[in-house]
């Protein structure tokens, strides 16, 4: 609660002897994400490729309409890109199985089904490559750099969705020092599984590798750090996080996420500063007027119900 309290603990720790009191070993599995829907494609392309929503949709449209490939001609490369379903066809499932087993081996394949959200309309399949045999590398020369990046993202996410889990060896160590207890967690990858192809942003965190320790073993203190932290306000929306929120609250359809955000940018109600979306003075005034005069219409629940 105070600096004095911290100082007392620090001086106790300076003269403490440190001993390993518990070592727990285990295994942890990490499962792949489902194939893309419109909103997850927009979020991932924003995070990984730095594409604006509008750009993602226009590049996806060209992949869907078709690209001229040598000896094949005009070929549609992805399924319809406005969808809220994670369902995939039996043919695509079978083709993915064959490809994964041929390229990576039997142990990398797992037949997976994903549950589509209850409010989804499920009119179209998930976004996936139309022809599994057309790998991103094999047609790279026929694509623009942006088409290649987006196609590779869609292709790898779909293939990963039908692959085995990644497996980690985990270890949790408990260390006592002068009545104080410290814990350390570590993990090392044992089997890459789907991560051979596709890693989600939040999966990139680095884990400490903890050396082999046994119960009763003495360890030595390198340094002790005291930190004061403060509660941070929530981060401003990015295009990706705003799409996620719209979807969670049931506002809009896969076809309207990008146009909605593009419209409020064009009307200068918001502006983009680096990746963050900030309300402008005009936006604040318009919002205030609308809420004061049309509060029963300008609200999240009403919009979601109308949808």
Residue in 274, 244, 237, 264 with CA at minimum distance from that of residue 42: 244
d(CA 90, CA 258): 30
**Selected catalytic residue, list 18, 64, 80, 114:** 80
Residues forming a β-bridge with 175:
20, 182
**How many Cα atoms sit within 13 Å of 237 on the Cβ side?**
15
DSSP state of 238: B
**Are residues 21 and 112 in contact, defined by beta-carbon separation less than 8 angstroms?**
no
DSSP state of 81: S
Provide DSSP, 87-148. ---HHHHHHHHHHHHHHT-GGGB-----PPPTT----SPPB-BS-TTS-TGGGGGGS-HHHH
Confirm whether 109 is a catalytic residue: no
d(CA 47, CA 292): 35
Task: Give the active site residues.
Answer: 80
């Amino acid at each position: 609660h105070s600096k004095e309290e911290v100082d007392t603990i620090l001086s106790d720790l300076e003269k403490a002897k440190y001993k390993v009191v518990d070592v727990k070993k285990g295994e942890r599995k990490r499962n792949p994400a489902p194939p893309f829907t419109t909103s997850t494609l927009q979020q991932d392309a924003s995070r990984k490729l730095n594409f604006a929503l509008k750009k993602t949709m226009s590049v996806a449209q060209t992949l869907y309409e078709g690209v001229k490939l040598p000896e094949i001609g005009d070929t549609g490369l992805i399924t319809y890109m406005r969808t809220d379903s994670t369902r995939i066809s039996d043919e695509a499932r079978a083709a993915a199985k064959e490809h994964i087993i041929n390229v990576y081996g039997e142990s990398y394949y797992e037949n997976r089904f994903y549950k589509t959200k209850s409010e989804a309309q499920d009119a179209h399949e998930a976004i996936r490559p139309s022809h599994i045999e057309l790998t991103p590398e094999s047609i790279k020369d026929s694509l623009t750099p942006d088409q290649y990046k987006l196609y590779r993202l869609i292709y790898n996410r779909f293939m990963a969705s039908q692959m085995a889990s990644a497996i980690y060896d985990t270890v949790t160590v408990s260390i006592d020092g002068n009545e104080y207890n410290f814990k350390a967690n570590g993990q090392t990858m044992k089997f890459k599984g789907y991560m051979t192809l596709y890693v989600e942003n939040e999966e990139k965190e680095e884990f400490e590798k903890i050396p082999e320790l046994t119960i009763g073993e003495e360890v030595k203190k390198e340094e002790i750090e005291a930190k004061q932290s403060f509660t941070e306000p929530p981060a401003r929306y990015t295009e990706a996080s705003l799409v996620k929120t719209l979807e969670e609250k049931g506002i809009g359809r896969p076809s309207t996420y990008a146009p909605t955000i593009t419209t409020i940018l064009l009307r200068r109600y918001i502006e983009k500063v680096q990746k963050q979306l900030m309300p402008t003075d005009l936006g604040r005034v318009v919002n205030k007027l609308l809420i004061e005069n049309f509060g029963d219409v300008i609200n999240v629940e009403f919009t979601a119900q109308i949808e």
